[in-house]
Chains A and B, each alone.
Chain A
Amino acid sequence: MLHPRTPDDIVEIVRDASAAGSPLLAVGGRSHIDRGNPSPVDAELWTTQLDGVVAYEPAEMLVVVQAGMRCGDLAATLGEHGQEWPVDAPEHATVGGVIAAGVSSYRRLRVGHVRDTVVEMEVVTGDGRIVKSGARTVKNVTGYDVHRLMTGSLGTLGVITQLALKVRPLPRASRWLHADGGLELASRLLAAVPQAGAIVATPESVTIVAEGWPEEVSELAATASRVAPVDEIAPGSSFPDLQAPTIAEVAVPPSALGAVLDGATSWQAPLGTGIAWVGTDNDMLEELRERASAAGGIAPAIRGSGGLGGTPVPAVEVQRRLKAAFDPFNVLAPGRGWGRI
């Protein structure tokens, strides 16, 4: 277990690993460590000592942080200025880990995907070069967005050291509503209130998260209640909160969700996104993956040992060249990524 303090420490560690051909895994809060295919390594590189805010200008709606900063600490810093980085990850998760894992928030319908919040990134490549891409501005078209390749790459292309993130104002008001019903009711609610922060369906219930200006939240609640009886409930912490040895994250075109979830008994789906978290076990996982695949999607495990699944990776030659370019000695979590590239 290695605990670098600076990007230069990381460079040294990675260079040594490459020279020795010794596989390495970058870890942060370990919140998303189950993601990916099995990848035996000789050492873990902990990013958690690189945990500070580098720059924060609330008026710019941008924050620059070191990759090892904990999401809870970031939320506290941003919260003091009425802002948030909308990812809904566990408090002890690190920013770099959330990005490397490409985590989807249950509020994705309204806040979008985490990949669109990263505007600049610094990484250490597998052969120990420091590479920066993007810029500290909210809009930028300057060369190739290497940071987009790094997002969701599960640490197989580089060790993320620093990120500039777009942040947004915290909603002024937030109410959670509950209705009895399942996917069908949730779909009707989505059609009625597409402006909701989230509409999360389970086999027997629907949770509506109404966020925004107080007037807006009242309107959302009133409209929802015209579709079905709703009760106000205390805000929950987050989704998914399933108890199961394996949780798969189904990702399919939204209209296919019903068919993919048919027969599953333990799931939570933020409607409108095509995502559903399914509590399952490794035996059922393959069948779930077949249904997701038939719908043109995927179902990697996000908890448990189920791995990513065998969906063929498009443009596999391009993907291999990228891996070879950024990690020529294949020491960064070898085999962890899709297609075991």
Chain B
Amino acid sequence: MADIDAATRDLQAALDPDRVLIDPLALRLYARDASLVEGSCSIIAFPRSAEDIQACVRIAAEYGLPVVPRGSGTGLAGAATPIGDALVVVTAKMSDILEVRPADRLAWVEPGLPNLDLANHLRPMGWTYAPDPSSQQTSSIGGNVNTNAGGPHCLAYGVTSAHVLAADVVVPDGSTVRVGSEGPEAPGYDLRGVVVGSEGTLGIVTRVCVRILPAPPSVRTMLLDFATVQDCADTVTDIIGRGVVPAAVEMMDQGIVRAAENFAHAGYPTEAAAILIVEVDGLPGKVAAEAREVEEAAHAHDVGTVRVAKDEAERALIWKGRKSAFGAIAQIAPHYHLHDCVVPRTKLTEVLGGVYAIAERHGLIVTNVFHAGDGNLHPLFSFDRSVPGTLERVLAASDELVRLCLDAGGSLSGEHGIGLEKRDFMPLVFTEDDLNAQACVRSAFDPDGMMNPQKVLPDGARCGDFAIARAGTDVAAEAATSLPEGSWI
């Protein structure tokens, strides 16, 4: 039984009393992220520096407390949901932009910085940070790193991993390591590549070096509406088939268009079965050529209207509708469960049909937003949790939804991560050897399993060779003699 009181005193001494919370309300508030699961924790700490973070990790290790890093708590898979007597380390107070270096195409930022704040800071300088998850007003760069966040503009520009050059990380032994490099290559294995998307299980990021890009000189945003979902999806396939990779291709079905329009008043066509927001950017010649291809594709599939944003204000309004969709859903019902599936792009219509069928079977309302360009589907179930039996129906429908996507050749998560919510589905996509290998990656950073335990990998995933080595069998002795000089064994 961990000595919470002693741990609290040590943390208060190391950080300062105002930045260590143990009151019941705080423990309740920080017991969950934006997913459906509620957990528990024993202490919440708000570091202001890398040294503070090191102290948190050191003290947690000393008292045997699991550590759960948390940015803005907008995660949807439960990666920041603490369990048991965890110490929650909240980076929200570390939100500075440390330096911007256009000559090196990089910027160093603190992990708690909201994504949109970075973009807004760069814009007047003529630069941009490409990953733009819908949560960007609130979600933190550190959180984005840990979920390898996507967003509409990742279609052409790539996900967060392509935009993180380096990070300083406090690892479970309390030391700070730099993964990656300010330069284009780092020596050794690509630790940066596994830290990005590791959902807070390998360490706590203290600062991030992000890639910045010159803002595109020209952009065109189009809103296309269709009488059938099939026409809409076929248009996306046609666009790709013409060799156009737009900066963004977002699809919204009628239910969510109506909710979004009610809130944002962006002039969305509420009678359409589905709409597409397509954005192309780059040099004016590229934009003109690509916009032409997009319009041709749309007309080839019976588009209703092609609306082109005439200025930045109209562009912002069109995006406002899309980016506020998940909030606007509150008009339909008080609670929602947002899903994240990726399927082959060409299977979108078929899978969407399956989604509607699942919802109907379980008596649930479902609306859909998709990053149509990369087959990343976000079905939203809307419901009232207080009605008995509802949550069970939502969870049953969710289970069927995951299987539907996997059967269509998709993956478990496009951008929200595995967290707690999808952990037990992992054996559906990975073998025991696959999962044990992943456990080896994890235990290379965290041999004692103190960082965000019980997330991502299901129980039973074990780094087999480490288990053998620790058991001290003959195999281990043999292994020990043939390991390179200076190995840890």
Contact = CB atoms under 8 A, between A and B. Distances in A.
Given A135-B411, A194-B214, A149 B286 contact: no
Given A298-B183, A341-B188, A254 B104 contact: yes
A59 B289 contact: no
Contact of B409 (A136, A217, A337): A136
A124 B343 CA distance: 27
A57 B217 CA distance: 33
Interface in A36-85: 57-61, 82
B229 interface: no
Interface stretch (B1-9, B18-26, B312-320, B476-484): B476-484
A102 interface: yes
8 residue pairs, one from A and one from B, having the closest CB atoms: A148-B193, A215-B285, A169-B243, A135-B411, A325-B440, A213-B289, A321-B444, A251-B185
B57 interface: no
Given A116-B158, A216-B286, A315-B177, A148 B414 contact: no
Contacts of B182: 253, 296-297
Interface stretch (A236-244, A280-288, A327-335): A327-335
Interface of B: 101, 103-106, 147-148, 150, 154, 158-159, 161-162, 171, 173, 177-179, 181-191, 193-194, 196-198, 214, 217, 237, 240-241, 243-245, 282-286, 288-290, 342-346, 371, 374-376, 409-418, 422, 426, 429-431, 433-435, 437-438, 440-445, 447, 456-457, 463, 465-466, 469, 478-479, 482-484, 486-489
A274 B184 contact: yes
A157 B440 CA distance: 12
Interface stretch (A26-34, A126-134, A200-208): A126-134
Contacts of A328: 465, 469, 479, 483
B191 A315 contact: yes
Contact of A216 (B285, B342, B430): B285
Contacts of B411: 135-137, 140, 142
A125 B106 CA distance: 35
Given A139-B150, A146-B441, A341-B484, A296 B181 contact: yes
B180 to A, nearest CB: 9
A143 B457 contact: yes
Contact of B429 (A142, A249, A326): A142
A256 B422 CA distance: 44
Which of B244, B415, B484, B489: most chain A CB closer than 10 A? B484
| Range of interface residues on A (Cβ < 8 Å) | 35 or more
A33 B445 CA distance: 30
B479 to A, nearest CB: 5
A142 B482 contact: no
B105 A254 contact: yes
B149 to A, nearest CB: 8
Given A214-B289, A325-B440, A60 B345 contact: yes
A62 to B, nearest CB: 8
Given A131-B437, A143-B438, A145-B197, A116 B414 contact: no
Given A112-B158, A274-B104, 15 more contacts: A59-B346, A129-B437, A139-B414, A142-B413, A143-B430, A144-B198, A152-B185, A169-B244, A253-B106, A295-B183, A296-B183, A322-B441, A328-B465, A329-B478, A341-B188
22 contacts: A58-B241, A133-B437, A139-B371, A139-B376, A140-B411, A141-B147, A141-B418, A142-B411, A144-B441, A151-B193, A215-B289, A219-B283, A251-B183, A275-B184, A297-B183, A297-B185, A313-B188, A314-B177, A319-B191, A328-B465, A329-B478, A338-B188
A228 to B, nearest CB: 19
A95 B328 CA distance: 46
A34 to B, nearest CB: 16
A326 B181 CA distance: 24
Contacts of A215: 284-286, 288-289
Contacts of A112: 158, 162
Given A141-B147, A151-B193, A213-B285, A337 B434 contact: no
Contacts of B431: 132
A102 B190 CA distance: 10
A262 interface: no
B434 A133 contact: yes
A242 to B, nearest CB: 19
